[in-house]
Amino acid sequence: MALDETLMELAPQLGRPVLRFYGWTQPAASFGYFQHHSEIERTTKLRPLVRRPTGGGLVPHDADWTYSLAFPTSHAWYALSAVESYQRVHEWVRDSFTKLGVTTELAPCCRKSAPGQCFIGYEKSDVLWQGKKIAGAAQRRTKMGLLIQGSVQPPPLNLAKADWQAAMCVRAVGRYCSGWNELIVEGPLLGRAQELESSRYSQTSYNEKR
C-alpha cells in the first residue's frame, strides 16, 4: 500500500505509467479508504486488515493476483472519467485473459453484493468468468496523478500468474504505453515508501482511524 501511494505521489517525476505486480506473504484483506474498520472486522476473519489509499470494498488477499497502475497527470488516461477509467482497465484485464485463451466479459450491469465486499456480486464493467466476478479495481485521483489498484481472483483453470502478467504487459504496448522498462525502487521512491509504511500503513491507529 505504501509503495502504491508513493507511485501516485511521485508520478510527475516518473513521467510515465507504472504497472506494478505484487502478492501477499500471508492471507490478509484490504479495505477502501472511506470504509469503517469496525464494520470490516465483523465482515471477515482475515487478518491483518490494511486500509488502501483507494476506495472500493473489502478485498481478500491470498492467492489473488494483485496489481496497481499509476499515471501522471500528463497521460491521456488521467483525463478519463472514473467510469471510463474503470471500464478501460478491465478491458485490458479481459484482453489479457483472451491472449491466454480464456473467455471473460465485462459485466453489463450491477448485481448487489454483501455490504462492503468486493467479490460478492459485481459492479458494471467488472470482469466476469462464467457469470462470476474475477476482477475488480479501485481508484484515487489527485493533483499529482491517478492510482488504480486491482485484484484478480483467477478462474480454476491452472493458469500461471507469470503468463497473465506477461499478457498484461504485451496488451498495453501501443494502446496505453509505448513500451515497458523495469522500475528500480530506490532513492526518493524507496525512501518515501518506507516513510509511509512506518508512519501510516503499519500503524494500527491509521488502519482503524475511522
For 89-131, the pLDDT digits (tens) are 999 999 999 999 999 999 998 776 665 555 677 999 999 999 9
**Sheet order of strands, 49-51 included:** 49-51, 28-31, 59-61
Cβ atoms of residues 126 and 133 within 8 Å: yes
Q: Report phi then psi at 85, rounded to 5.
A: -65, -45
- Global pTM value: 0.94
Say which residue the cell 516513510 belongs to: 195
Distance CA 207, CA 181 (A): 33
The CATH T-level fold of domain 2-193 is BirA Bifunctional Protein; domain 2 (3.30.930)
> Percent of the chain scored above 90 by pLDDT?
87
Q: Report phi then psi at 14, rounded to 5.
A: -70, -40
Mode of pairing for the β-strands spanning 49-51 and 59-61: unpaired
DSSP states of 43-102: H---S-EEE-SS---BEEESS-EEEEEEEETTSGGGGS-HHHHHHHHHHHHHHHHHHTT-
How deeply is 187 buried, as exposed, middle or buried, from its count of CB atoms within 10 A (0-12, 13-18, 19+)? exposed
pLDDT class of 209 with cuts at 50, 70, 90: confident
3-state class (DSSP) for residue 137: strand
Say which residue the cell 454483501 belongs to: 114
Q: Report phi then psi at 121, rounded to 5.
A: 80, -170
Q: How far, in Å, are 6, 54, 132, 189, 194 from residue 141 at the CA level?
A: 13, 9, 28, 19, 22
pLDDT of residue 82: 97
pLDDT of 63 higher than 60: yes
Instruction: Give the active site residues.
Output: 118
Per-chain mean pLDDT for the chain: 94
Provide the 10 A C-beta neighbour count for residue 173.
11
pLDDT of residue 115: 55
pLDDT of residue 118: 59
The C-alpha cell that represents 50 in the structure block: 490494511
